[in-house]
Amino acid sequence: MQTKIVSKNFEIPHANSLEVALKNGRYTSLEKLFTYQPQEVIDIIKTSNLRGKGGGGAPAGAKWQLASDFEGKKYLVVNADESEPGTFKDRQIISKDPHLLIEGIICTCYAIGANSSYIYVRGEYEEFSDILQIAIDEAYAKNILGDEAKYPVEITIHRGAGAYICGEKSALLESLEGNRGHPRLKPKSPEPEFYFGEPTLVNNVETIASVPFIIENGAEAYTAYGTDCSSGTLLFAISGHVEKAGVYEAEFGVGMWDYIQKLGGGVKNGKKLKAVIPGGASTPILPAHLVMEAKLDYENLKSLGSALGTGGMIVLDEDVSMVKALKNLLRFYHHESCGQCTPCREGTSWVDKTLDKFINKTATLQDLEVLKSVSKSMNGQTICVFAPAASGVIDGFLKHFESEFLECIV
């Protein structure tokens, strides 16, 4: 079941060092890269159907094309602000095979015509940031990066200050520019992001780390994995009540329950499965009966009323109180709202405080209606998807486990 493309070198001792990385295939894709024109590289990425692996799943090639088509200085910004609860995959790449990420950055910069790249790293990832910086320094010393490289690329690490909202690409760029991390209004027509007014491509760490395999082996080698619409693989994180929590790469389309059983070792202590949050904390929960038919790809999970997100599965066993679980999540959203939009700022606060009544078993039917009403008012009324995500979480819990909330009503 486990397929290793991005994670191929994870178990090799000291694979984070350039010496070991070179012995195990790192930077070999560059030989093939420079036989192509930049537009040919973009076309290969389009054909591979590589999708963004930071949660949205948008076609990577289309984003690359937008950045490439604009005139002026170009930037590549790599989103390593891994703040989604339940998601631990980018740090695996950064710590275990950082030269894979650097290789992918070079490939991507060449394709879109950029010579500068920033890696925006979650503020709490100091240890992983240090490992990555050592790898970057090694690449400069060997002229893999810098002015003496065959294609000159400069890479700079920028550590955030621990704001979850800065995982949203436009808020990330605001932060990178030195401003408060507030999401930007979306343009009316497709265009790239902009960093200090210059066209910029923003992609997640795992998305960029998938590029060398595609360049070296061809688009068809990548589409040989996964489904027709969700090609390739993903580093799925699995945590919660499982025997073997961890990060295991698998191709899109595998059964969620099969994954939990075979790679996660099953539900911990032999207990019954109650539910799974399938793609990080901001994706709607799935009860056990839907988990049994769920496939780990974008389309299938959408059809079941949830989303693949970052692929960070959180497994909940039969003893979990869904009221307390939702309270835990809403406390997080309340704390992390950037406060720019009123429906989000006030809505997350309201639902968080309302859940206290259910926890204390002093809630009324009106409080249940408040949860539903505020959830509706948060959805589609804000600049970014933070509030709609929180709304989807609330709706998922109430749709599948409303009986547990009714038990808390006096």
User: Which residues lie closer than 8 Å to 257 by C-beta, 6 or more apart?
Assistant: 273, 291, 292, 294
Q: Is the pLDDT of residue 47 over 80?
A: yes
Q: Is 120 helix (H, G, I), strand (E, B) or coil?
A: strand
As a whole number, mean pLDDT of residues 322-341 equals 97
Query: How high is the pLDDT of residue 71?
Result: 87
Using the Cα atoms of residue 347, residue 349, residue 350 and residue 355 in order, give the sign of their dihedral: positive
Query: How high is the pLDDT of residue 188?
Result: 86
pLDDT band at 127 (very low <50, low <70, confident <90, very high): very high
What amino acid occupies position 131?
I
Residue ranges in 34-168 assigned as alpha helix (H): 38-48, 60-69, 90-96, 98-112, 126-141
pLDDT digits (tens, 9 = 90+) for 229-269: 999 999 999 999 999 999 999 999 999 999 999 999 999 99
pLDDT digits (tens, 9 = 90+) for 266-316: 999 999 999 999 999 999 999 999 999 999 999 999 999 999 999 999 999
Domain boundaries, the chain: 18-223, 233-316, 322-406
Q: Which residue has the tokens 């631990």?
A: 88
CA distance to 69, 148, 360, 397, per residue, from 190 (Å): 12, 35, 48, 34
Spatial contact of 379 and 403, defined as CB atoms under 8 Å apart: no
The token pair at 9 is 């070198």
Q: Is the pLDDT of residue 1 over 90?
A: no
Question: Hey, what CATH topology would domain 233-316 get?
Answer: Ubiquitin-like (UB roll) (3.10.20)
Q: Is the pLDDT of residue 197 over 80?
A: yes
What is the C-alpha separation between 263 and 265, in angstroms, rounded? 6
Query: How high is the pLDDT of residue 13?
Result: 97
Q: Which pTM does this prediction carry?
A: 0.96
- The architecture that CATH gives domain 18-223 is 3-Layer(aba) Sandwich (3.40)
Q: Both ends of the chain: CA-CA distance in Å?
A: 48
CB atoms within 10 A of CB 19: 10
pLDDT digits (tens, 9 = 90+) for 56-102: 899 999 999 999 999 889 999 999 999 999 999 999 999 999 999 99
Q: Is the pLDDT of residue 12 over 80?
A: yes
Q: For residue 396, which of 305, 301, 281 has the smallest C-alpha distance?
A: 305
Please state which CATH number belongs to domain 322-406.
1.20.1440.230
Using the Cα atoms of residue 7, residue 135, residue 41 and residue 207 in order, give the sign of their dihedral: positive
Spatial contact of 220 and 228, defined as CB atoms under 8 Å apart: no
What residues pair up with 259 in beta bridges, in sequence order?
A: none
pLDDT band at 2 (very low <50, low <70, confident <90, very high): confident
User: Which residues lie closer than 8 Å to 183 by C-beta, 6 or more apart?
Assistant: 165, 168, 170, 171, 174, 338, 340, 383, 384, 386
Helix H or strand E encompassing 26: none
What is the C-alpha separation between 101 and 113, in angstroms, rounded? 18
For 262-365, strand residue ranges (E) read: 273-277, 286-287, 312-317
pLDDT digits (tens, 9 = 90+) for 336-392: 999 999 999 999 999 999 999 999 999 999 999 999 999 999 999 999 999 999 999
Query: How high is the pLDDT of residue 60?
Result: 98
